[in-house]
Amino acid sequence: MEKRKLSFLQIWNMSFGFLGIQMGFALQNANASRILQIFGADVHELSWFWIIAPLMGLIVQPIIGHYSDKTWSRFGRRKPYFLVGAILASIGLVLMPQADMFIAFLPALWVGAGMLMIMDASFNIAMEPFRALVGDNLRTDQRTLGFSVQTALIGFGAVIGSWLPYALANWFGMSNEISEGVVPANLVLSFIIGAIILIISILVTVTTTKEYSPEELASFEDEQAHSDAMEKDDPDQKSSLLDIFDDFKKMPTTMRQLSWVQFFSWFGLFGMWVFATPAIAQHTFGLSYTDSSSAMYQDAGDWVGILFGVYNLISAFYAFALPYIAKRLGRKKTHAVSLVIGGLGLLSIYIMPDKNWLIVSMIGVGIAWASILAMPYAILAGSISPKKMGVYMGIFNFFIVIPQIINALIGGPLVKYAYDNHAVYALVMSGVSFLIAAALVFKVKDVDDVVQ
């Protein structure tokens, strides 16, 4: 037996929930720093608050991956997890920008940070099973397409999330002005809309996608042969959560090699997400590093949302081209070239003469972002036993969150002491990090670089 070949629409519906997940994630990425500053955080403290995000990924994704590998219910294998994650993330989205409601009990900054933690834990609960679902449901010759479609939906969702605050303020006349300690109305409504779309998009996937049962997966000839070749464990051996540590030690060589690529890719991304708003407010809009409440700072924050939308829009379209580029160049060279383009885009932010030229910089970032979201997973999926797809996708997340944790710990002090509060140098460092990741791609062995 072999897996059925899915139509484009089936692959699209299978990943449609990522539209809502990434819309919420984009709202968080583009606006969390601004919201935390409104609640009283200083620029050099931002990365410390953002450490919550990778910590949640480090803890949650391997655990969810382990249990989703072992789960089968009448609702499916992966679907129950991303449905629960979506509900919890929606609660965090609604409450984070309205944390000032709870000041009778706790400072708004603490509540806002707590909601950020809930959102990140919930996004991780939802995202990891989506990655594993592509590995479960698609044949080898469709996996690059599957991850590329997923990347396109991530891009479209992120565009909506990134542009929504700007659109509400500039196209629908909603106020983006703040009073002391209160988030602007356009941001509050944006987060509420994001929560609603997140739930709807997840339900589309849940209601339209059929999962293979464990028995069906075991019966497929290609999966069975792959599993037998890569896994010599006793099939009757009972598993436990502690097996994650054993799986970590036994991770495939390709995964170890990709870990360094992921490290420098995500170190760079984290620096961009955390410091883009203060960096562009200072370097492009000419504001003081102490300014986080003026009308011009809010304009700068809205413009960062536009820029983030640009790179996500570019990534959505570039994702559709990735299978064809990878067919011609190979997955490794495709990823390396994309990272170089993204690195040059980030470096160019320093020399761009005005805010409009930053759109050119973001085009480069969008090309790298699309590849980061697709190519490593397409390479990885071919090196993993199907019996361990969920847990290894979760463990692979270590190499996404650990560099973010390191950047969170050192990023703020670097901005304050090494960069003399000039946050733009954090973006320059992100560009250099992308270029290092590109060089390391060539050390990766792609064991399944099939013709798509």
pLDDT one-digit tens code per residue, 370-386: 999 888 888 887 666 66
Query: What is the DSSP secondary structure assignment for residue 417, as one 8-state letter?
Result: I
Q: How confident is the model at residue 435 (pLDDT cuts 50, 70, 90)?
A: very high
> Which of 325, 424, 324, 307 lies closest to 366 in space, CA to CA?
307
Dist. CA 26–CA 150, nearest whole Å: 15
Q: How confident is the model at residue 281 (pLDDT cuts 50, 70, 90)?
A: very high
Residue 175 CB: number of other CB atoms within 10 A? 11
- pLDDT of res. 451: 38
Dist. CA 49–CA 424, nearest whole Å: 19
- pLDDT of res. 384: 66
Alpha-helical segments (H) within 284-423: 295-329, 331-348, 358-381, 389-396, 398-413
- pLDDT of res. 229: 42
Amino acid at 257: Q
Q: CB-side exposure of 348: number of CA atoms within 13 Å?
A: 19
Give me the chain's average pLDDT, please: 81
Q: Note the pLDDT tens digit of each residue in 374-419.
A: 888 888 876 666 666 556 666 777 788 889 889 988 988 899 899 9
Q: Is 436 exposed, middle or buried (0-12, 13-18, 19+ CB in 10 A)?
A: middle
Which residue has tokens 């403290």? 45
SS3 182: strand
Q: How confident is the model at residue 45 (pLDDT cuts 50, 70, 90)?
A: confident
How large is the greatest C-alpha to C-alpha distance in the chain, in angstroms? 65
pTM exceeds 0.75, yes or no: no
In this structure, of 309-323, 327-341, 352-366, the range with the lowest mean pLDDT score is 309-323
Record the tokens describing residue 71, joined without a space: 């789960």
More confident site: 449 or 6? 6
β-sheet bridge partners, residue 179:
182
More confident site: 431 or 209? 431
> Which of 37, 43, 47 lies closest to 293 in space, CA to CA?
37
Residue 398: partners with Cβ closer than 8 Å, 6 or more residues away: 58, 62, 248, 259
Cβ pair 269, 431 in contact under 8 A? no
Residue 379 CB: number of other CB atoms within 10 A? 28
Dist. CA 238–CA 158, nearest whole Å: 41
Q: Is 104 exposed, middle or buried (0-12, 13-18, 19+ CB in 10 A)?
A: exposed
- pLDDT of res. 199: 93
Q: CB-side exposure of 246: number of CA atoms within 13 Å?
A: 9
CA distances to 164, 215, 310, 332 from 170, in Å? 10, 54, 17, 42
Dist. CA 291–CA 281, nearest whole Å: 9
Return the ∠ at Cα 382 (arms to 380 and 383), rounded to 5°. Answer: 70
